[in-house]
Amino acid sequence: MPRREQYVPPKVPKGMTAEEFHAARSVGTTEAGRVLGCHPDTVRKLVADGKLAGYRVGTDVRVRVAELLRYVGVVTGAREDR
């Protein structure tokens, strides 16, 4: 049986906090759906309707983590100026 490679998390670039680094990451519709508590197709529809900012990479739709956090704040009524 082949040996599995151990997962090594990405290093945070110098001059950037861990929060900034992870907020700049982008995720696919499956992970975005997990964050939002909905189906990946719903994430695609939110992006297509312009309610959630996202972008295409080939046939895949990607969403930045910072945008997911902004959207969750808007939907739950959390203020962005805190």
The model's pLDDT over 23-74, given as tens digits with 9 standing for 90+, comes to 778 999 999 998 899 999 999 999 999 999 999 999 999 999 889 988 988 6
10 Å CB burial of residue 8 (0-12, 13-18, 19+) is exposed
50 Rama class: left (phi>0) / alpha (psi -120 to 50) / beta: left
- Token output for 26: 């982008």
Q: CATH: 1.10.760, 1.20.120, 1.10.10, 3.40.1350. Which one for 18-76?
A: 1.10.10
28-34: long-range contacts, CB 8 A cutoff, minimum separation 24 = 28/60, 28/61, 28/62, 28/63, 29/60, 29/61, 29/63, 32/63, 32/68
pLDDT at position 4 over 70: no
- Provide the residue type at 3 as one letter: R
Segments making up each domain of the chain, as ranges: 18-76
